[in-house]
Structure formats: C-alpha cells, structure tokens
Amino acid sequence: MENILEVKNLSKKYTGFELKNISFELPKGMIMGFIGENGAGKTTTIKAILDIIKNYTGEIKVFGLDNRKDDKKIKEDVGVVLDDMFFPEILIPNDINSIMKDTYKNWDSNLYFKYLSDFDLPKNKQIKTFSKGMRKKLEIATALSHHPKLLILDEPTSGLDPIARNEVIDIFQDFIQNEECSILLSSHITTDLEHIADYITFINNGEILLQKTCDELLGKYGIVKCTESEFKKMDKSDFIKYRKTKYEYEVLVENKKEFSKKYGNNTIDKITLEDLMVLMIKGVK
C-alpha cells in the first residue's frame, strides 16, 4: 500500500519537552487519528510535517517528497487546519477567496462558496463577528477548496456543535472515497475518531505509545473489571496497564478472547479511545 505521508525518527528538543524518534506512516485513502494529552507532542509533530518549525532531526516525506526540500510542491496539495490558525479578523470570506485564488493553482471558488453555503456562513461579514465554531467551519472550507490530496487537521471540530461535527465528519469521509487522498486528524474528541479513523497513533510525553488500526483497538482490546483477589491471580504479561479505583480494579488487556479463555468469567468491557488514553497514561504496570 502506497504511503502519502512518512515520518521517520522525528526528534525535536525544547526546554522541558522533547519529541523522541517519532515514526509513523499514513497510507493513501486512509484516515489516521492522532491522539494524546495536551502537550504530548501532537501539534509539534504536525508543525514539523508542515515545515513550520525548524531544527529537528529525522526524515519526513509527503507524496514521496522531502518536506524541507520540496515544501512549495507539497503545500499546493496539502489542506491545513491548525488549532491556533487564524485569519485576520478584519477580512470577510469574500476576501479569503480573492487571496487564495492567487495562492493555490487549483483553488476552486465555486467549491469554496458551496462550502460557505453548506456551512451557513455569510460571505460579507467580518471574521471578527464569527463565533469559534463559524471560524472553524471557515478554516475547513478553505482547507478543502484547493482540492488537496492530504488534509492535516489539528482539532478541526473543536467548537462545533454535534450536528456541525457530524456534517464535517461526513465531508472528511467523502474526501477519502477516491482512495487517493488521506487525512491526519488530531483531536481530543475521540468519539469522532472512533467513527472515521482507520488507524490510531497515540503519543504521550513526546513518544509514540501505540499504533494500531482502529478496528483492532476497539475490537480486540478490553477493560477487565475485577476484585483485588482476582487481580492478584493475573500474570503481569497478560495485561498492559491497570488502575485501582475505589471499588475495583480496571485492567487493560490486548486480547479480550484470549484473556477470557485463560481467566474465565471476569467482566470484560468494550474499550473506547478515551478509556485507552486514561489507562495508558494513568495506569501502572
């Protein structure tokens, strides 16, 4: 399967924080959910991919091209929404259309205004009058309107109500239907990722903790809820992390079926990405 994005051994040092040999691959036609706590390294990784930050080590290829040497070619085919992205507030959406026509060869004004209409965004009001959700919709419309092959999205549904989030998720799913386009999507709204992500990459404190298909995580992983005496009978090699709550133990296991075969009738709950994050970060081995 051909990769649209390859990150190999990406490292970057700041005072008090370090990205440590980050590596992952995003195939064509796929959506990768990029998850982790605030400050885990998601935005730093994304900005390195976009060549916004400098002086990092490692190799990043987009469409098979070096992101530092071929950044102009790459940017033409990458749509971006960043969590700290903003347009000058004095502009109106019509101004953005005029600016982007001179920025991207493939800018599609008709598509842009269709998104504005679909998102119920006014063309002639200053951005400073827009709510956070309206601004986010405008960023998404702009990112999609030059027919990119790769979307890199940092918290794209932040500030949107559930109906608008569903609408945007549908657009993202349509975007990859031709199997030529891909999405790297960082989000704290893990329920969105459960619906659309093909892969999950989980970063914590600058290191990749886990990379799996979403189906494998949600289908095979589970949480065993048990008493202290039941927990003490478990072999440490049979679970990933555990957490002691007020009334019971919660144990993260990699294979529900195998665990059930070995230990019998413990209650094994389906896992969510939020459960996974909590147990991987707060749990102990």
pLDDT at 264: 81
- Find the angle CA(278)-CA(279)-CA(281) to the nearest 5 degrees: 70
- 120 shares a domain with 135: yes
Look up residue 87 and give its two tokens: 């347009």
| 87-90 long-range contacts, CB within 8 A, separation 24+ | 87/127, 87/135, 87/138, 87/139, 88/127, 89/126, 89/127, 89/128, 90/126, 90/127, 90/128
Residues in a beta bridge with 6: 25, 61
Average pLDDT over residues 107-115: 97
Count structural domains, the chain.
2
Secondary structure (DSSP) of 140-198:
HHHHHTT--SEEEEESTTTT--HHHHHHHHHHHHHHTTTSS-EEEEE-S-HHHHHHH-S
- 209 shares a domain with 262: no
- 158 shares a domain with 39: yes
- 107 shares a domain with 11: yes
pLDDT at 238: 94
pLDDT at 54: 87
- State the Cα–Cα distance between residues 126 and 274, nearest whole angstrom: 37
- State the Cα–Cα distance between residues 50 and 129, nearest whole angstrom: 29
For residue 265, what are the domain limits?
221-282
What region does 198 belong to: left with phi over 0, alpha with psi -120 to 50, or beta?
alpha
pLDDT at 71: 81
| pLDDT per residue as tens digits for the range 56-99 | 999 999 999 999 888 888 999 999 998 776 789 999 999 999 99
- State the Cα–Cα distance between residues 232 and 225, nearest whole angstrom: 13
- 46 shares a domain with 27: yes
- 175 shares a domain with 53: yes
- 231 shares a domain with 205: no
- State the Cα–Cα distance between residues 9 and 25, nearest whole angstrom: 12
CATH code, domain carrying 141: 3.40.50.300
What are phi and psi for residue 216, nearest 5 degrees?
-65, -45
**pTM of the shown model:** 0.93
The residue written with tokens 């091209």 in the block is 65
| pLDDT per residue as tens digits for the range 182-229 | 999 999 999 999 999 999 999 999 999 999 999 999 999 999 999 999
